Structure 1
């Protein structure tokens, strides 16, 4: 029960739930309609409402207890594929990447031919200064690198101004794992109708699981502020020294590459 209470508290803090209609009256009406005629008169609206609330709490608790990590399931249910976000009790201590391991440098035109999706380019910051492709992920992973400048300060975690990563989330369930400590903030939101998660505050850990079915982690590093956006079957990861307003502007300007 202690673990369940902790998970529920984490869910309450991290997940922004949209407004939902008041269903208590409808639940109470249906429960009363199904009650035997002899007992229906003794079931007051207050009692029916109490039973409905109790039933909802039992179902919610059962759902959390039945899933190994309910926080992962909730974040996946929001529409993001290819990433798992987890709260951890201690601040992460992964190494800072001195050299980005993002694959082989290629042109954007060649990248569009090699990956199994159409690249998305953030028009708000123009064409990238460098493009790389890695095949640690099924379908390939595309990285767009922007040099510091033009309003993009150098990140102490990547050494660049902006790093945009793209991969097929549907082909890589839980490939990326993010561990967010007590100093980090997690917010769910929508960018032009697309599901997104914003992670900011203290640095968090970024892990790459083995994309080929093996156990273990292929690489890990500390990461700064990140916006994760689901665009169809493509998971887009935008990392940089930026506030949410700027991250939203960049994500909102994502457009299919003319080279695709």
Structure 2
């Protein structure tokens, strides 16, 4: 099997679970050396690395909390050391900004506190902004930046996640700005937007039978998304086949909420 990104190096944030885990595994399958970032739960991150290695891939873990700018600096300090040991260089090729949080602020927009608002923006917007800024001297020309967005930027979701929705809109705008800026270096920048996906962050509500039925009824392809559905699209964007795609909002939702009515 041809490996589309063999000899490339990828950093995937929040790669110890969910969509980030699936992307890390998929990029490693395509031949990349993958830095599996996590903020906590080292055992989960090590399990991802073990799975990658068991399937013939290469990966290692990087720990850093991304709720402060200092965390971004610590991430790159650790990454520089790890890459220097493994490749002789601090340069890499692919950055996937996947790490994010979605706190449910009580039951309404009115109950969203300043603390919650600031926290979600720190992790979901400030961290990707400075991760990319600090990546630019390290990212090779012809590289890829993939920012994980969400279908919430196209559809009105419940108001208790309003702050989260705003952060994903900001990510889409950031992708546009950077795609224009980095085109001269042949670096592509895109927003990849999952729909409703079966991950830990959605488990509290999605695993109810009524929720499953509802999501299927408003999805053109008739099922709930899996992390691998998103990972396959990320692999395309990271590959040579994605070379002419930049500055785009690419939704991978199975056709979520395309209907003006419920199918079920």
TM-score, normalized by the shorter chain, greater than 0.5: no
- Output the TM-score relative to the length of structure 1: 0.22
- Greater radius of gyration (CA): 1
More strand by share: 1
More helix by share: 2
- Output the TM-score relative to the length of structure 2: 0.22
